[in-house]
Structure 1
């Protein structure tokens, strides 16, 4: 008997219900593909491009009949980057560094050709100076200085004992390194190029969302000190790394190059918003813990309303421009509402009134900085027809001081520390080589040069050096298997590529893992250097084992020196860097006002990022350094605000002739506190702030009928009160605990 409805199964598939099902399946599949493409897919693409560039460099060097094509392949694995903008931005500096390194090797050879000891001394000083300069001039310029030292060692070290072949070796090694540079740049830029602009856009979106969530937590219930410090320091790291990414983007994308000033302004406004949120959090924390329940209850309705606006943005994904419009309305109505609330607090103490005024002022300033940040963020990715308008906005006179990028400032003692550390490691390896005549000693010196260069900016140089040593050991064993069993049984370049690809891809994959990058770098680089094929094949496994021992020993030596002789968390180096950080507050007190906020922001955040590299382990020293970081930002910004407000509302000719000297005396006392922290300087700063506060209160009574001047003086009083509360904070670094 036939079924009553024989076409129903087909109707479920081809009918309206089936169409909906197919669309749902297709949407899920597309979403899964996009997630894979933006995650693991990028890793696999990077592996494909890295292996392709390495094999292309190998083939080009063989085609050009260069004596050691493995040097070209090694260079690719030293320099390859995931984004084409990074590669293009560094290509010029790579080639320039290679040329300078070649000239340095020739000059040293000409001066000390018959004196190996002096030649080795000169090479050690040159390479160490290049590594120190790489630390001093960071970002993409780092590669230029590293290449200048790496190329000089690669050319000169094998010819210390036999200087007659130096000139020919200089030409061939420079050509091999140049082939590696050209191949890595070409493959990165032409083979499915990954634009830094896309990564930058994604990072900015994630940062905006994370900062919104961070703001919500601060406004809702506050954060514990450790949680706040950790999350705030993460934003500082993003600020410090943004400038390098902006430079990469400018190299690869002309449209983004035209908006480079806009991006710099966005980062500057994000720094301002972070600083305002930090100040607001510090004051709210003191109100919560200082038995100021009535004042906190008075300011809490405004915090609730602000939380509601940010909550809608976080949950519903409202556009930044719409949120900025709502915040602008909230900010416009805030002064009148605050005045109404303040009238209800007339019976409160003067201290409570000052707390309320300061909290309201900080809230007003924070909302203003968030509006600037949101509007700049919203108009950054508009359509092309709006770009010129955005550029005109980014170059407007009142924002011109924000158009330039952050100012990098590296402690000179940190640069000297890097120079001495590299000189000790390379010097010990070179001395042992010359003293013993070890045939593989030259490769040990080259390995010491590479590990010192690649770990110069690593947060944990000791761990990375040991990982690279282990990677070199595994590379030695793998190279032994290739020389003894693989190379003799294959013929032709295509078959050579097919057997090398899995090994090279494995090393590149491990190098992308955050906690195991040293293993991958050591394996990839030293497998190419030890067992990479040359035009004239050499099947000498005992020499490979000896070379592998030399490389592993040099990296273990570097790890030992890094851990014992020159540990990164040495007390004197940390104290010097903290001293540079405190000096930024001194500059905020004494330097000229034009552009002061930008200089203070960029230098302070740059020094904080350097301190976080030095302080990798949890300790009391790390906690003290974090307190100085927060105190510097807190007091420095408040002093700049105080000076700006005092300069804008200078009433010396009408009211008090002592007003200007009181502000100057306050700034001098705060500068002395950060120059020489101690109980005496802290007491002097508190006295100066209190005296200026009393004088401003007297002036407030004088101009009570003038609403504009009264408002200006209340802003000044809020700055002074905030500075005083920061000095009295129990968590401040200048207070005994």
Structure 2
């Protein structure tokens, strides 16, 4: 009996504890998925930094602080990011070490020529980093400033250059191994899981957005803002897909699938935009009552998409419903069109084009749903495993601009060092190189450079305190870890904040680089302060030059990138047809994302760039469809001898419009499209008895009519910039 009485209080206590835990579990789970992840990242970063420091000391490397600095440059919340950066850092460090050796051998005890060669090399690496973005950017940046870190301190002592390169590579290697091990083994945060979660969120958000657009509940400004966000999501997805493949074999096996999924998402977005544009243009026109006849089908499709919001399926359910809707759509559209016997030819053309765009959007969205549903499958059909490449595009003017800007900043720092013979001038040059490299793709480079300068100043102050008052009063590695942990955690926390990322990077990197402990600690506070002043001054110099002499949003540079963006429409008109759609879509989205990063938010220039992107996507995609349909209907040339010449004239005049947009080019393009429409209508009358050929010509007419409406749109950027009464040239398009 006593034993039973003893067990009963224990059971009551266990039950009360379980109830308390269950009542707290929602709050704990919420904390674990928000602030808990931040604390986990700080813990892993500090652990990896101290592990690298201790390992480098144990290996008796001359500068263990370099290993600790490497950790703070490398650590990211997801293990895939760390592994990707580690891979490219190894390559960049190796190439940078070789470059330092070559420059040191070519310009022995010739500081002027050595500095000139170093400036050219580092600037070229930074320019290449801008050209090859994502984590390849990091490899090029490392190849640049690693050469500076190795070569600059050994300008006057070339005999120690080879040993310096080897020890620097060893110290960096220790930091890479420690950061990768800690990130992958201690509560790893898989970027693959984050990528799949991002796909799920994007799928649900776009389904809801498409339903709102089809229900005509989204105005023009709201649509443009949301579409711009979709562009950033498409480009950001490619970066995430690259580093997710580094950490997980399953993600590597799905890499082609994910690329195809992103490609199909781009197509679906473009189809939705085209349909929205046509519906917007028809609103308030004479054709509006006829185009409104398609609204029941739009509402039906919107209802199907709205149902998917509450279905936690993989997309196969919606794909099945969409295929059923698509199978009955042509017959129902024909029945609706037959009831509009007294409508004008232009109104019927609007109706036919809207119907064709609706059918194509359903087709693209069905393909996207099918691909989304196959993410959980291991084996796919050969068609589903087809490779879809994403073609990144960077303006050559932006690359050249980055080279000139970086060379100017580092040239000024090198000139000051050589002219004054300042002992810390070499570190000032290294600081300028680091600032140019790390801000090369920042949305606001001057702001980030100023933050890095402030971080370097704070790191110098903290290093002074540690050098004078902390290091002399502690003994042993455990106590060293205890006193370093709060400072390292503060730097990691600041670096993880978006608004203070530059401050955190500057503080963490330069505290470790200037005042990090070595195996043999030298107590030279004056040298520390001098080096800190050099680094801070060089970064402030970089910020001033970036803000005044070479601002990233210079009018001529933005205009050159805009020309590259418009050139994608020229590519659609003149490029080789195999995989043209993929190259056009990805490069256009890539350039548009770069423009959005350079231009200030909610500015007129940013809205203008967005509208050029929308016009380029709209016309370019329609031109590619037209070329595909014309290639499929080769028999049209035999039915009308002027057909091929008319199509070539349309493509040539559209290319000229986007190369040099002006009123005359716009009028020529409208007239050529009008002529092609006339010929296509004559051919349609000749093939009415053949259903297949009739459908081919109707699809061609829909493409031509859509291009015409895009050219005549009052909101089009070339129409707003070069107003002209081109409508007078199109009054007789429809007899």
* Count of equivalent residues: 711
Partner of 2:689: 705
**Residue 113 (structure 1) shift:** 2.0
Partner of 1:243: 238
Kept in 2, the 8 Å contact 1:222–1:281? The answer is: no
**How far apart, in 2, do the equivalents of 1:230 and 1:168 lie?**
55
SS in 2 for 1:690: helix
Which of residues 27, 44, 50 in structure 2 aligns to 1:49?
44
Partner of 2:483: 499
Kept in 1, the 8 Å contact 2:450–2:540? The answer is: yes
Partner of 1:6: none
Kept in 1, the 8 Å contact 2:452–2:502? The answer is: yes
SS in 2 for 1:515: coil
**Residue 104 (structure 1) shift:** 1.3
Q: Deviations over 1:569-600 (max 9, x none)?
A: 01121111111111111111122222111111
Higher mean displacement: 685-694 or 183-192: 183-192
Partner of 2:79: 84
Q: Deviations over 1:204-248 (max 9, x none)?
A: 111111111221221223433332222111111121122222222
Which of residues 603, 609, 628 in structure 2 aligns to 1:644?
628
Kept in 2, the 8 Å contact 1:652–1:658? The answer is: no
**Structure 1 length as normaliser, TM-score?**
0.93
Q: Deviations over 1:147-170 (max 9, x none)?
A: 111211111111223434323322
Partner of 2:515: 531
**Residue 249 (structure 1) shift:** 2.1
Higher mean displacement: 26-35 or 368-377: 26-35
**Residue 362 (structure 1) shift:** 0.7
**How far apart, in 2, do the equivalents of 1:515 and 1:288 lie?**
43
Partner of 1:233: 228
**How far apart, in 2, do the equivalents of 1:35 and 1:685 lie?**
57
**How far apart, in 1, do the equivalents of 2:590 and 2:92 lie?**
25
Q: What pairs up with 1:276-425 in 2 under 5 angstroms?
A: 276-290=271-285, 292-317=287-312, 319-381=314-376, 386-388=377-379, 390=380, 392-395=382-385, 400=386, 403-425=387-409
Which of residues 496, 500, 505 in structure 2 aligns to 1:512?
496
SS in 2 for 1:594: coil
**How far apart, in 2, do the equivalents of 1:501 and 1:391 lie?**
52
Partner of 1:142: 137
Q: What pairs up with 1:689-728 in 2 under 5 angstroms?
A: 689-728=673-712
**Residue 650 (structure 1) shift:** 2.5
Kept in 2, the 8 Å contact 1:87–1:188? The answer is: yes
Higher mean displacement: 496-505 or 696-705: 696-705
Q: What pairs up with 1:58-207 in 2 under 5 angstroms?
A: 58-207=53-202
Kept in 2, the 8 Å contact 1:583–1:674? The answer is: yes
**Residue 481 (structure 1) shift:** 1.7
Kept in 2, the 8 Å contact 1:259–1:391? The answer is: no
Higher mean displacement: 548-557 or 238-247: 238-247
**Residue 391 (structure 1) shift:** 5.2
Is 1:688 matched up with 2:672? yes
**How far apart, in 1, do the equivalents of 2:711 and 2:53 lie?**
63
**In structure 2, do the counterparts of structure 1 residues 31 and 266 end up closer, same or farther at CA, with 3 Å as the change threshold?**
farther
Is 1:486 matched up with 2:470? yes
Q: Deviations over 1:160-214 (max 9, x none)?
A: 2343432332222222222222222222222222222101111111111111122
Partner of 2:609: 625
Kept in 1, the 8 Å contact 2:126–2:403? The answer is: yes
**How far apart, in 2, do the equivalents of 1:316 and 1:122 lie?**
61
Kept in 2, the 8 Å contact 1:151–1:174? The answer is: no
**How far apart, in 2, do the equivalents of 1:26 and 1:138 lie?**
47
Kept in 2, the 8 Å contact 1:287–1:295? The answer is: no
**Residue 685 (structure 1) shift:** 0.5
SS in 1 for 2:535: helix
**Residue 25 (structure 1) shift:** 7.3
Q: Deviations over 1:496-529 (max 9, x none)?
A: 1111111111111111111211111111111111
Q: What pairs up with 1:207-286 in 2 under 5 angstroms?
A: 207-286=202-281
Partner of 2:528: 544
**Residue 27 (structure 1) shift:** 6.1
**How far apart, in 1, do the equivalents of 2:130 and 2:461 lie?**
34
**In structure 2, do the counterparts of structure 1 residues 185 and 702 end up closer, same or farther at CA, with 3 Å as the change threshold?**
same
**Residue 409 (structure 1) shift:** 1.7
**Residue 272 (structure 1) shift:** 0.5
Kept in 1, the 8 Å contact 2:569–2:655? The answer is: yes
**How far apart, in 1, do the equivalents of 2:365 and 2:648 lie?**
31
**How far apart, in 1, do the equivalents of 2:288 and 2:667 lie?**
28
Is 1:730 matched up with 2:714? yes
**How far apart, in 2, do the equivalents of 1:626 and 1:712 lie?**
33
**Residue 714 (structure 1) shift:** 1.4
**In structure 2, do the counterparts of structure 1 residues 23 and 334 end up closer, same or farther at CA, with 3 Å as the change threshold?**
farther
**How far apart, in 1, do the equivalents of 2:262 and 2:367 lie?**
11
**Residue 542 (structure 1) shift:** 2.3
**In structure 2, do the counterparts of structure 1 residues 79 and 23 end up closer, same or farther at CA, with 3 Å as the change threshold?**
closer
**Residue 28 (structure 1) shift:** 6.0
**How far apart, in 1, do the equivalents of 2:589 and 2:616 lie?**
10
Kept in 2, the 8 Å contact 1:222–1:285? The answer is: no
Q: Deviations over 1:675-695 (max 9, x none)?
A: 111111111110111111111
**Structure 2 length as normaliser, TM-score?**
0.93
**Residue 126 (structure 1) shift:** 0.9
**How far apart, in 2, do the equivalents of 1:704 and 1:28 lie?**
72
Higher mean displacement: 362-371 or 240-249: 240-249
**Residue 393 (structure 1) shift:** 4.3
Cα RMSD for the two superposed structures: 2.1
SS in 2 for 1:616: coil
**How far apart, in 1, do the equivalents of 2:525 and 2:556 lie?**
47
SS in 2 for 1:474: helix
**How far apart, in 2, do the equivalents of 1:522 and 1:392 lie?**
49
**How far apart, in 2, do the equivalents of 1:478 and 1:57 lie?**
21
**How far apart, in 1, do the equivalents of 2:536 and 2:270 lie?**
46
Partner of 1:462: 446
**Residue 307 (structure 1) shift:** 1.3
SS in 2 for 1:734: helix
